[in-house]
């Protein structure tokens, strides 16, 4: 198990990311939403993907009203397995922006937190598809465009509890261990390129998924979503690769 290290803060300022383009999966979730806004705040054009079109439109409007660069909105279901559909997604990004500086894998399915005997096969497969297989396919189809950037990143999100391979974490726990392995493999393959691959491990924080895995937990002991997103942006902009990182201390 790779031991995570604290995020190294990156100096950021208004318009630093002007003309940069970042694709964010799960953009309507707690961390995805805050990360999209944080990147847009620094001048980036963000591509918002997710399954809930109404939530995507609301986030789109919020970013526009804040005066940040106009984002792109692409409803997309990661449960899809056909690589051609993923190729069409990246082609639409190429047609509109002609560049991609980062891919941020935030979307995830939690499935069933419970003993293996309670794991429904269809749910298990959906979790692995959404959390692992789709991330692998999307990373693959994005690589040609990412390689054209001066510096590009692929960022994955793990889970401090699920990654320990303890009882009852089911497909969700397995998926986090798998995605960490994939991210490390990708980092090794991209070692001589300008594309980095890193894993961000948020730790205990105020996120909808945390409510499901730790019901009844007091929010006062958790990091805020905004603080965690700020740290994720530092990972996205990092020049290091193959790193497993957790938020720095406030």
> Rounded distance, CA 175 to CA 141, Å?
20
- Which residues are CB-neighbours of 180 under 8 A, at least 6 positions away? 2, 156, 158, 163, 199, 244
Pair 10, 234: CB distance under 8 Å: yes
Instruction: Write the burial class of residue 202 (CB in 10 Å: 0-12 exposed, 13-18 middle, 19+ buried).
Output: buried
Alpha-carbon gap, residue 12 to 14, rounded angstroms:
7
Q: What are the distances in angstroms from CA 191 to CA 127, 131, 185, 223, 249?
A: 29, 24, 10, 32, 29
**CA dihedral for 212, 181, 28, 5, sign (positive or negative):** positive
Catalytic positions, written as ranges: 172
Alpha carbons 69 and 101: distance in angstroms, whole number = 15
Q: CA-CA distance, 51 to 61, in Å (whole number)?
A: 17
Q: Which residues pair with 244 in a beta bridge?
A: 199
| DSSP structure class, residue 244 | E
């Amino acid at each position: 198990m790779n031991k995570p290290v604290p995020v190294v803060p990156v100096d950021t300022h208004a318009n630093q990311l002007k003309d940069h383009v970042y694709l964010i999966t799960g953009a309507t979730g707690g961390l995805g939403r805050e990360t999209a806004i944080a990147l847009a705040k620094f001048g980036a054009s963000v591509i918002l993907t997710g399954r809930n079109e109404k939530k995507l439109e609301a986030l789109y409007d919020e970013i526009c009203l804040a005066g940040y660069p106009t984002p792109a909105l692409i409803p997309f279901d990661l449960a899809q397995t056909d690589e051609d559909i993923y190729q069409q997604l990246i082609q639409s990004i190429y047609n509109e922006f002609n560049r991609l500086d980062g891919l941020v894998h935030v979307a995830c399915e939690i499935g069933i937190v419970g003993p293996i005997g309670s794991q429904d096969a269809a749910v298990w497969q959906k979790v692995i598809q959404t959390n692992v297989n789709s991330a692998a396919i999307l990373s693959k189809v994005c690589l040609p465009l990412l390689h054209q950037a001066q510096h590009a990143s692929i960022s994955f999100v793990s889970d401090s509890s699920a990654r320990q391979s303890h009882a009852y974490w089911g497909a969700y726990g397995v998926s986090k261990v798998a995605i960490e392995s994939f991210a490390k493999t990708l980092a090794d393959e991209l070692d001589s390129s300008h594309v980095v691959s890193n894993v961000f491990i948020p730790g205990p924080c105020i996120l909808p998924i945390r409510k499901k895995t730790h019901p009844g937990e007091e929010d006062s002991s958790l990091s805020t979503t905004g603080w965690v997103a700020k740290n994720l942006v530092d990972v996205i902009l990092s020049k290091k690769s193959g790193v497993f990182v957790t938020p720095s201390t406030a």
